[in-house]
Amino acid sequence: MSAQPITIARSKVWNLPGGIHPAEHKAESNKTPIEAIPLPSTLWLPLSMHLGAPALPCVKVGDTVLKGELIAKAESGISANIHAPTSGRISAIENHAFAHESGFKQPALCLEVDGLEAWRVQNPWADWKNHQISDIVQRIRDGGVTGMGGAGFPTDIKYRNKHAPIHTLLINAAECEPYITADDRLIREKADEILQGAEICQHLLGADNILIGIEDNKPEAISAFETAAQQLGIKIVLAVVPTKYPSGGEKQLIQLTLGVEVPKKGLPSDVGVVCQNVGTLRQVYRSVVLDEPLISRITTVTGKAVSKPGNYEVLIGTSIETVLNHASAHLKKADRVIMGGPMMGFALPDITAPVIKTTNCLLAATKKELPAPIIDNPCIRCGLCEQACPVDLLPQQLLWSSKNRHLEYAELHSIQDCIECGACAYVCPSRIPLVHYFRYTKGELRQEEKDLQESERARKRFENRQARIEREKQEKEERRKARAEAAAKALAEKKSNTDGSSEAGKDDPIKAALERAAAKKQAKTTTVETQTPEELKELVEKAKAKFEKAQQKLKDAEANNPSIDAYLSKASVKLEEKYLTADKTYQAALNKQDKSSS
């Protein structure tokens, strides 16, 4: 709030190749101020209104919620919170109609409005500058702020991970698409809030400049910005670009206002720029300073089928039908209802779908206003599409490769850089639906990429499994071989043992014992023949003693221990034999001696 008037500089504007000049149709809806839609009876809040992971509900069916209360929490990473746009009761969490071309239903929370509009506790920060930057960024995330220009990228992500220094905050006030005037009216009425939001973002980035890119068909908005900047003392630079579609695309606006092209597969932060829509910046102000989360947005309702065209402040979750009825749309006259503009919007399959954070326009067009597409003629290779492309691509080559499904060729011609603005299809004399073809090809490329990853994983799994089975087979084979070898070895040893080698007998105690016994027997027989009669007599005495002992033991056993009777009797029989044999030998030896002596 300085006293000195600030001069608002006008910056140089560069050239954007291609582009078209369709009829603007802005006058239908930008004459009246923004009007609030009265409270509807139910609100349906889809869990995924933004780019990234869907939010997870943190309330249950039956819970009462206050206005601005958190009802679905952002997952970590790229995701956004969802808040209750008004107070009421959660009556269901189920699949509900969703505004998407496919017509798929999406999980959503149903809020029964109680009409009290009871706010939750709010904690405004008048002195946001005194807070830490990380706290402010977290506050933006807490407010569920996402890009309101149409993409829905969670805003706080742009202020984290600053891998490159940012020198310019570019405010996207271009609004190049025909029929849409939401940003125009917002600037005219709330330029101060937008600029305060821009100030916060500039502070978060440490950027040098705030640059506003705005088309020259919005003179009132330009003066609103200038007045607000003077009053607030915020230094801005205005870049007034000539009205051309699609100068409002992020990369196109950067090229127009700064003369640099964002590199392929790159982000604006790679060239030191962060681009934000005016609606997003106003919401940043509301979240950070006033502690109001993102619960409503400005939506243009227009088209010849609408009796009261204009801009409306709509609570997120209001059904599109309700909004159209409030604007007195004759739904029977409307051939189709388009969400978005006539160039980049899509026809809604179900108008009971709710308004989400990125619904910038509802176009209820009559058949005469937007005629149904006529069948296309063959391409005459005129080259007008190439002249109209703002990204300097070759739509004709992309068409041929799309028709023939030559995905590699399409990728070579940079189909991934196509922003799907529709300028080429607009100028085509054969009325070929070029963007349709490009979307199909991009989808096929995405699918092919996914398939490649999956088949790569499957191949690795399969190869590992084959290797494991092979390895197990090998191990089994080795074990079997080892067993066979051991068995063969044992067999070989047994064979060599029966030849009498004592070294073999070392291993087998039984064999050794048998050998000892055999050896002893051998020794005995030889000893007996060479012994003298005296020695023999000793042996006889010994044998007799052993025999008598055995007899005694047998008598004892008969009396005391009958179980060992059998063994003892056997033993005594054997000893008796031995004694008799010894005696016989002795006698024989005596006879021999007598014979030899006599």
Q: Which residues bind another protein (CB under 8 A)?
A: 48, 98, 100-102, 104, 106, 375-378, 397, 400-409, 433, 436-437, 439-440, 442-444, 446-448, 450-452, 455-456, 458-459, 462
- How far apart are CB 409 and another protein at their closest, in Å? 7
Asked if residues 49 and 146 have their Cβ atoms less than 8 Å apart, the reply is yes
| 75/556 with CB nearer another protein | 75
Q: What is the DSSP string of 33-70?
A: --EEPPP-SEEEEES--SSSSPPEE-S-TT-EE-BT-E
Cβ-based nearer residue to another protein, 8 or 343: 343
Least separation, in Å, of the C-beta of 408 and another protein?
A: 6
Nearest distance from C-beta of residue 188 to another protein, angstroms: 36
Bridge partners for 35 per DSSP:
312
Task: Give the nearest distance from C-beta 433 to another protein in angstroms.
Answer: 5
Write down the least CB distance from residue 62 to another protein, Å: 28
Give me the least distance between CB of 402 and another protein, in Å please.
Answer: 7
Given the complex with another protein, which of 181 and 401 has the nearer CB atom?
401
Phi-psi bin for 592: left (phi > 0), alpha (psi -120 to 50), beta?
alpha
38 versus 378: smaller Cβ distance to another protein = 378
Closest approach of Cβ 77 to another protein, in Å? Answer: 15
Between CA 210 and CA 170 the distance in angstroms is: 6
Q: How far is the CB of 401 from another protein (least distance, A)?
A: 6
564-579 in b/e form (b: 16+ CB < 10 A) is eeeebbebbeebbebb
Min dist. Cβ of residue 342 to another protein (A): 18
Give whichever of 169 and 434 is closer to another protein, judged by the CB atom.
434
- Residue 101 or 556: the one with the smaller Cβ distance to another protein is 101
Smallest separation (angstroms) from another protein to the CB of 369? 23
**Smaller CB separation from another protein, 9 or 452:** 452
Nearest to another protein of 378, 562 (CB atom): 378
In whole angstroms, the minimum distance from the beta carbon of 395 to another protein comes to 14
**Integer Rg of the chain from CA:** 50
Structure tokens of 142? 């807490």
> Of the two residues 128 and 400, which places its CB atom closer to another protein in the complex?
400
Nearer to another protein, 203 or 439 (CB): 439
Amino acid at 6: I
**DSSP H or E run through 346:** strand 346-347
If we measure between CA atoms, which residue out of 105, 125, 117, 127 comes closest to residue 46? 105
| Sequence-ordered list of residues with C-beta below 8 angstroms from that of 211, at least 6 positions apart, any chain | 11, 168, 169, 170, 171, 236, 237, 239, 257, 258
- 49 sits in the region (left: phi over 0; alpha: psi -120 to 50; else beta) called alpha
What are the backbone dihedrals phi and psi of residue 237, each rounded to the nearest 5 degrees, phi first?
Answer: -125, 130
Q: How far is the CB of 472 from another protein (least distance, A)?
A: 16
Q: Is 106 or 497 the residue whose CB approaches another protein more closely?
A: 106
Nearer to another protein, 430 or 585 (CB): 430
481 to each of 57, 484, 486, how far by Cα in Å?
63, 5, 9
Could you tell me if residue 365 is left (phi over 0), alpha (psi between -120 and 50 degrees) or otherwise beta? beta
Kindly give the pairing relationship between strand 346-347 and strand 334-339.
antiparallel
Those residues whose C-beta lies under 8 Å from the C-beta of residue 560, and which sit 6 or more positions away, are none
What are the contacts of 280-283 at 24+ separation with CB within 8 A? Answer: 280/145, 280/146, 280/147, 280/148, 280/149, 280/155, 280/197, 281/171, 281/194, 281/195, 281/197, 281/198, 281/201, 282/186, 282/190, 282/193, 282/194, 282/197, 283/143, 283/145, 283/148, 283/155, 283/197
CA angle centred on 192, ends 241 and 221, rounded to 5°: 30
As beta bridge partners, residue 346 has 339
| Six-digit token string for 529 | 């023949």
